[in-house]
Amino acid sequence: MKQFQYIRPATQQSVLEAIAKPGTQIIAGGSNLVDLMKHGVMSPDKLVDINKLPLRGITPAKSGLHIGALALNSQVAEDKQVKEKFPLLSMALNAGASAQLRNMATVGGNMMQRTRCPYFYDTSMPCNKRIPNSGCGALEGFNRMHAIFGASDKCIAVYPSDMSVALAALDATVLIAGRKGQRRLPFTDFHRLPGNTPEIDNNLAKDQLILAVEIPDNNYAKHSYYLKVRDRASYAFALVSVAAALDIDNGTIRGARLAMGGVAHKPWRLTEAEKSLVGKPANMASFEQAAQIAMQGAKAYKDNAFKLQLGPATITEALQHAAGLV
């Protein structure tokens, strides 16, 4: 890898000043960035280590929970408040990566992780995300792991996070700091679809910093489940994953949250399928109908047609688990 500078500012202000300059790159846990640097995919001139910032806390917020951007994945997964209020998030985190990686990776870093598309990683291959207009290697290449929703002919990569699938389902909000102050962004608006600009993963500007995510209180804790289907039991990205959360009253669904991972360039929230579940009995027929609605508009490529079948299977299975029927 090429030589780079490394700084570790102590204040948010100095971080914001540093990242406003070209060639800089924030590093937190580094579990993805260091790999990308070794592969020559990213080659920043200066790393801005933000680990000195006080962003590690998990604290109650006004009707919800505030999770600092530097909270470790393992720390969040095992946090008592998280497990009690949002077990779905804990399950999703524990389904991701390996114990060693979860001990390094942060919430903000997890949001910022980049696709694992092999064509993005191999600098000898074409990739519009790595080098705009160089072509998409995956479109007609090895695309077993790739998107079935929201892809474009420029990019069919998927966003790999498990944590974010749960956060999308849980109506989380992202707190972002810039030099002009703070802003809030719905979690589902944070990541982008590739469109004509696959090089842009998300809506965080170059000179902005993720401070935290906040999750509003809900009634889903009793009936939620994260199901990740993958090629091996740990340290493998999802073929398809589903975050399912239900609010069930006397056998009837009062509210539902559903999101999928491994299927799109962002966590794929399934709002139409959620709506279809409201007022229905918590049974297989309702779940199957929701799954059918969820899959509308799905499009497969050469190697990933199985996702059209695995998608609904995973949705119904996750809903059955969430409803306590399995």
Partner 1 sequence: MKEEQLLNIPGDYTDGIDRVDGRQKVTGAAKYSAEFNLPGMTYAVFATSNITKGSIKSIDTKAAEHAPGVLKVVTHLNAPKLPGYETGKDPSKPATGGGPLKLFVDNSIKFNGQPIAMVVADSFERATFAASLIKAEYTKEAHNTDTAKSLDKAATPKGPRFSDYKRGNPDDWKTAPVNLEAEYILPTEVHNPMELSAIVANWTAADKVEVYDKTQGVKSTQNAIAQAFKLPPENVHVTTKFVGGAFGNALRTWPHEIAAVMAAQLVKRPVKLVLTREQQFNSVGYRPYTWQKVSIGATADGKLTGIIHEARAQTSTFEEFTEGTVNMTRFMYACPSVGTIYKVIPVDVNTPTWMRGPGEATGSFALESAIDELAAKLNMDPIELRVINHADTDPENGKPFSSKNVKEAYQMGADKIGWKNRKNKPGSVQEGGWLVGYGMGSGVFGAGRGRATVRATMQSNSTLLIQTSVTDIGVGTGTAMTQIASEVFDNYPIKKIVFELGDSSLPPSPTQGGSMITSTVGGAVHDACTALKQKFQQVIGNGGTDKPDYAKVLKEKNLPQLDVEITSSGSSEMRNYSAYSHSVHFVQVKVHPKTGVVKVSKVVSVADSGHIVSPKTARSQIVGGAIGGIGMALMEEGVIDHRYGRYVNADLAGYHVPVHADIPQIDTLFVNKPDFKVNPMGAKGMGEIAIIGMAAAVANAIYNATGKRLRELPITPDKVMMA
Which of positions 138-157 make contact with partner 1 (CB under 8 A)? 140-142, 144
Segment near partner 1 (CB under 8 A); pick from 20-28, 150-158, 292-300, 311-319: 311-319
Q: CA 130, CA 291: separation in Å to the nearest integer?
A: 34
* 180 in contact with partner 1 (CB under 8 A): no
Measured in whole angstroms, how far is the alpha carbon of residue 57 from the centre of its chain?
A: 20
Task: Give least dist CB 144 to partner 1, A.
Answer: 8
Tokens of 107: 């919430």
* 134 in contact with partner 1 (CB under 8 A): no
Which amino acid is residue 201, in one-letter code?
A: D
Per CB under 8 A, the list member of 209, 257, 316, 319 interacting with partner 1 is: 316
DSSP β-bridge partners for residue 213: 67, 174
Q: Which is nearer to partner 1, 200 or 326 (CB)?
A: 326
* Total residues belonging to the chain: 326
The residue written with tokens 């580094």 in the block is: 30
* 34 in contact with partner 1 (CB under 8 A): no
Q: Report CA dihedral (124, 200, 132, 47) to the nearest 10 degrees.
A: -60
* 285 in contact with partner 1 (CB under 8 A): no
Enter the DSSP assignment of 234.
S
Tell me the site size for partner 1, rule CB under 8 A. Answer: 34
* 63 in contact with partner 1 (CB under 8 A): no
Q: CA 188, CA 164: separation in Å to the nearest integer?
A: 9
* 239 in contact with partner 1 (CB under 8 A): yes
Per CB under 8 A, the list member of 20, 61, 278, 313 interacting with partner 1 is: 313
Phi and psi torsions of 33, nearest 5°: -60, -45
Q: CA 16, CA 202: separation in Å to the nearest integer?
A: 18
* 187 in contact with partner 1 (CB under 8 A): no
* 272 in contact with partner 1 (CB under 8 A): no
* 11 in contact with partner 1 (CB under 8 A): no
Task: Give least dist CB 250 to partner 1, A.
Answer: 25
* 100 in contact with partner 1 (CB under 8 A): no
Segment near partner 1 (CB under 8 A); pick from 56-64, 120-128, 187-195, 266-274: 120-128
Enter the DSSP assignment of 177.
E
DSSP β-bridge partners for residue 158: none
Segment near partner 1 (CB under 8 A); pick from 82-90, 133-141, 274-282, 292-300: 133-141
Tokens of 94: 């524990």
For 5-43, b/e burial (b = at least 16 CB within 10 A) is eeeebeebeebbebbeeeebbbbbbbbbbeebbeeebbe
Task: Give least dist CB 119 to partner 1, A.
Answer: 7
Tokens of 8: 């570790």
Per CB under 8 A, the list member of 11, 59, 234, 296 interacting with partner 1 is: 234
Q: Which chain residues interact with partner 1 by CB under 8 A?
A: 1-3, 40, 98, 116, 118-119, 122, 124-125, 137, 140-142, 144, 229-237, 239, 306, 309-310, 313-314, 316-317, 326
